[in-house]
Structure 1
Amino acid sequence: VNNAGVSGVMIDAEAFTSLNLKAGEVVGSKSDLAKKVMRQTYETAEGCLQTNYYGPKQLTQALIPLLLQSSSARIVNISSTLGQLKNVKNEWANKVLSDVDGLSEEKVDEVVKKFLKDAKEDLLEEEGWLNLSAYIVSKAALNAYSRILAKKFTAFRVNAVSPGFCKTDLSHNNGQFTAEEGARGPVRMALIPADGSSGKFFYQMEESAF
């Protein structure tokens, strides 16, 4: 559905490239280095959430009447391993998004609003949000929304897919995979058979943990 290249931060591209970061290192072993070349503001965070979460959600809602008329409705949300729950360090948000049985659109929206409130009040670090927190929250929320859709529309096949850290403009061509390699997982999910997986998260071609 979406991969608009909105990371939620302003990046010093030259410095970022020189660090030669691999997927996950911006919130892992090299997070302190990454923080020096990235700057997140409330405005960049809000833009990220609007594009990466609210945008796909609103588009999906507009298309559902048409999908209901289809015998092979498929929804593929382009996500990221950064959106996995292990990267959501705010305890309350992690608990809400981990409660599969209790998930609802309203609860996911509450998490997003809480994050944006913390961003506006400059409380991100105090509240436990990591580097690239807007991007992480946007993809975690999109993953949760995918699970909600799969549960609500059982005839649909709805999945979230991470294409991997690809060499594109978003990564300043610093990724591990080509765009063609990254496309394989989403295309596979778009062509999944009627009895295929739904409500799952995939890293490229393999099912992974939310």
Structure 2
Amino acid sequence: MAAESLNNHPIRKNAVVTGGNKGIGYEICRQLMEKGVMVVLTARDEKRGKEAVEKLLREESCYYQQMNLVVFHQVDVVDPQSVSSLVDFIKSKYGKLDILVNNAGVNGLMVEGDVSILPEMIEREAARGLSNTTEEDEAPIKSTGKLIENFGWAEECISTNYYGAKRMIDAFIPLLLLSPSPRVVNVSSLLGKIKLVSNEWAIKALSDGENLTTEKVDEVLNEFLMNFKEDLLKEKGWPNVFSAYKVSKAAMNAYTRIVAQKYSAICINCICPGFAKTDITCNTGPMTPQDAAEGPILLALLPEDGTSGQFFYRKNILTTF
């Protein structure tokens, strides 16, 4: 990008991107830089985060170095002290926050054997998420691999994907409210569609938009984890595949609506960026991280009259959560 283009931003926007050291998060950072946004790339691992910043500066124009368009700050979204340290950094250095992209996440499972099981199941479940029916596809799976889930990974998945994103939003709301056009982008998934949560009580609770509260979301998550620990997922009607991932993303989507209703000044949306080749998908997706980042970038830079409290699939609003 030419210097003249960057100089068209008299009041430069600044952004925080979690999980920015690789995959879609890294691409979101790069594309925000291209738009003249000052990016704080964050990651749990300090070494990997700093290496990602160095890579961005090597790959992009030397002008980005002169303009200081990217810096690293360590953050672990499950650690309140870590998040608080990041907030203090943003407050002291920039005084406000314009864009928060909650991209950090885990899948809550392990693939055993043939990794082609992952794209097969993701594509099947995503198709269910987009369909108008609740019927499960019983088509035989070709792969011989297995998706292994356990309670420890389920806890980590809920803690990272939902409570981590919620912690970031809650912590940054005061600084976001100081921005003339605050934007929050929650990177979600079609697998987080409410109907894929399967449990009828949970679906009803998360679908009740007018009466949705964080307490109700907590109740759903606590019930899910208790049933998981007691090996009652099947008996209680919870998902039998991608269990924790689906529930965690459905909870994130629900919190997106809660924040949108509570803070009209903040434009907040969630988005499924598409099935991309990343570590979380064992590099099996049909899309590149570059293509998948385009949707989150669109939401991060929505105009003044941009929509809020919506669920996007790539660049399109879905009619239901």
TM-score range, shorter chain: over 0.9
Q: 1:112 aligns with which of 213, 221, 226?
A: 221
The DSSP-based 3-state class of the residue aligned with 1:23 is: helix
Distance in 2 (CA, whole Å) between partners of 1:201 and 1:112 is 20
Tell me the equivalent position of 1:10: 110
Distance in 2 (CA, whole Å) between partners of 1:96 and 1:4 is 26
User: Which blocks of at least 5 consecutive residues in structure 2 are unaligned?
Assistant: 1-100, 129-135
Distance in 1 (CA, whole Å) between partners of 2:117 and 2:211 is 43
Structure 2 residue 239 is the aligned partner of structure 1 residue 139 = no
Q: 1:101 aligns with which of 201, 204, 210?
A: 210
Structure 2 residue 173 is the aligned partner of structure 1 residue 73 = no
Equivalent residues in 2 for 1:7-156, closer than 5 Å: 7-12=107-112, 14-17=113-116, 21=120, 23-26=122-125, 29=137, 33=141, 37-130=146-239, 131-156=241-266
Task: Tell me the TM-score normalised to structure 1 length.
Answer: 0.93
Q: Return the letter of the residue paired with 1:109.
A: D
Q: 1:161 aligns with which of 271, 284, 296?
A: 271
Q: Deviations over 1:147-202 (max 9, x none)?
A: 00000000110000110111111111111211011101100000001211100000
Q: State how many pairs are aligned.
A: 209
The DSSP-based 3-state class of the residue aligned with 2:185 is: strand
CA deviation after TM superposition for structure 1 residue 17, in Å: 2.1
The DSSP-based 3-state class of the residue aligned with 2:212 is: coil
Q: Return the letter of the residue paired with 1:180.
A: Q
User: Which blocks of at least 5 consecutive residues in structure 1 are unaligned?
Assistant: none
Task: Tell me the TM-score normalised to structure 2 length.
Answer: 0.62
Using a 3 Å threshold, how does the CA distance of structure 1 residues 20 and 201 change in structure 2: closer, same or farther? closer
Does the aligned pair in 2 maintain the 1:17–1:172 contact within 8 Å? no
Q: Deviations over 1:45-88 (max 9, x none)?
A: 00000010000101111101101111111110000000011211
Q: 2:288 aligns with which of 178, 182, 186?
A: 178
Does the aligned pair in 2 maintain the 1:48–1:134 contact within 8 Å? yes
Structure 2 residue 314 is the aligned partner of structure 1 residue 204 = yes
Larger radius of gyration: 2
Deviation larger for 76-85 or 169-178: 169-178
Using a 3 Å threshold, how does the CA distance of structure 1 residues 30 and 48 change in structure 2: closer, same or farther? farther
The DSSP-based 3-state class of the residue aligned with 2:234 is: coil
Point out which structure has higher relative CO (alpha carbons under 8 A, 6+ apart): 1
